[in-house]
């Protein structure tokens, strides 16, 4: 006795019936939640705003320089001008990556599916930290 597929299925069903109910993904309250990352070595930080409506319905991510200026299409310019094409191109790569991080998360609802973009790993780390902080506020 106790051999064969019936025993295996019975034991598996028994095991699943006694596992705690909270082992899956956490549940989140609908609403709008924000999270902020810590500062990097230049004093810059990231902010995420997540909208939850029965799941991830929206996600926005921005990073700010030490003085609070948003890193946007002007990030990498000096006094409104591109003084170093290499620096500006790298800065704009990071800006595009930030938008991609938020878009991927919004579309998948899975932080594990957001992949780092080479050249924008600091923003990636800030994004992950900010999302985790926002979601902590949203837990039921």
Q: What is the CATH number of the domain that holds 91?
A: 3.90.1010.20
Q: Given pLDDT bands bounded at 50, 70 and 90, which one contains residue 24?
A: low
| 55-77: average pLDDT | 96
Is 8 part of a structural domain of the chain? no
3-state secondary structure of 36: strand
Q: Are the C-beta atoms of residues 77 and 88 closer than 8 Å to each other? A: yes
Is 46 part of a structural domain of the chain? yes
Is 128 part of a structural domain of the chain? yes
What's the rounded Cα separation, in Å, for the pair 42 and 20? Answer: 44
Q: Are the C-beta atoms of residues 117 and 97 closer than 8 Å to each other? A: yes
pLDDT in tens, 80-120: 999 999 999 999 999 999 999 999 999 999 999 999 999 99
pLDDT at 140: 82
Is 111 part of a structural domain of the chain? yes
Enclosing domain of residue 89: 27-138
Q: Are the C-beta atoms of residues 130 and 61 closer than 8 Å to each other? A: yes
Task: State the total domains in the chain.
Answer: 1
pLDDT at 22: 43
Is 119 part of a structural domain of the chain? yes
Is 58 part of a structural domain of the chain? yes
Burial class from Cβ neighbours inside 10 Å (0-12, 13-18, 19+) for residue 28 reads buried
What's the rounded Cα separation, in Å, for the pair 85 and 79? Answer: 14
What's the rounded Cα separation, in Å, for the pair 35 and 16? Answer: 35
Is 90 part of a structural domain of the chain? yes
């Amino acid at each position: 006795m106790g051999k064969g597929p019936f025993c295996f299925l019975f034991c598996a069903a028994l095991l699943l019936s006694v596992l705690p109910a909270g082992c899956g993904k956490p549940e989140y309250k609908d609403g709008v939640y924000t999270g902020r990352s810590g500062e990097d070595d230049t004093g810059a930080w990231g902010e995420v705003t997540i909208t939850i409506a029965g799941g991830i319905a929206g996600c926005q991510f921005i990073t700010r320089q030490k003085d609070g200026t948003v890193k946007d299409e002007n990030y990498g310019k000096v006094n409104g001008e591109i003084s170093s094409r290499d620096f500006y191109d790298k800065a704009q790569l990071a800006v595009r990556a930030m938008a991609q991080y938020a878009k991927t998360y919004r579309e998948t609802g899975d932080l594990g599916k957001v992949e780092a973009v080479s050249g924008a790993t600091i923003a990636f780390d800030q994004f992950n930290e900010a999302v985790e902080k926002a979601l902590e506020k949203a837990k039921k």
